[in-house]
Amino acid sequence: MLTAAIYVPAAFAEICGCFCFWAWMRLGRSALVLVPGCLSLVLFAWLLTFSPADNAGRAYAIYGGVYIAASLIWSWLVEKLPPDRWDIGGAAICLVGAAIILLGPRA
């Protein structure tokens, strides 16, 4: 449960931060959106340091699966584009992969 409490907010912080850059560059929003975007990206990086993984590479690999699922949720809630069955299936596969990396027995 602690893992979800770290990775889920980290994913939304990263997506929010990146979306601010997207909004500035692609949607013509003011450069002022970069301020909360940068703060959000700092929050994302800080949150990942609390990962229970034993090294940074595994922390990022586990996070990748969560990020993919969170990106589709963001797309649905913020950009009003619901995921299709291929999105859902792909995200499920990624989450299974992340769980294997997280929960796999280690020597």
Q: What are phi and psi of 80, to 5 degrees?
A: 60, 30
Domain of residue 33 covers 3-103
Count of domains forming the chain: 1
Chain segment 5-36, per-residue pLDDT in tens: 999 999 999 999 999 999 999 999 999 999 99
Say how far residue 37 (Cα) sits from the centre of its chain.
Answer: 14
Chain segment 31-68, per-residue pLDDT in tens: 999 999 999 999 999 999 999 888 899 989 989 999 99
Say how far residue 93 (Cα) sits from the centre of its chain.
Answer: 16
Whether the pTM exceeds 0.75: the reply is yes
Q: What is the pLDDT of residue 1?
A: 67
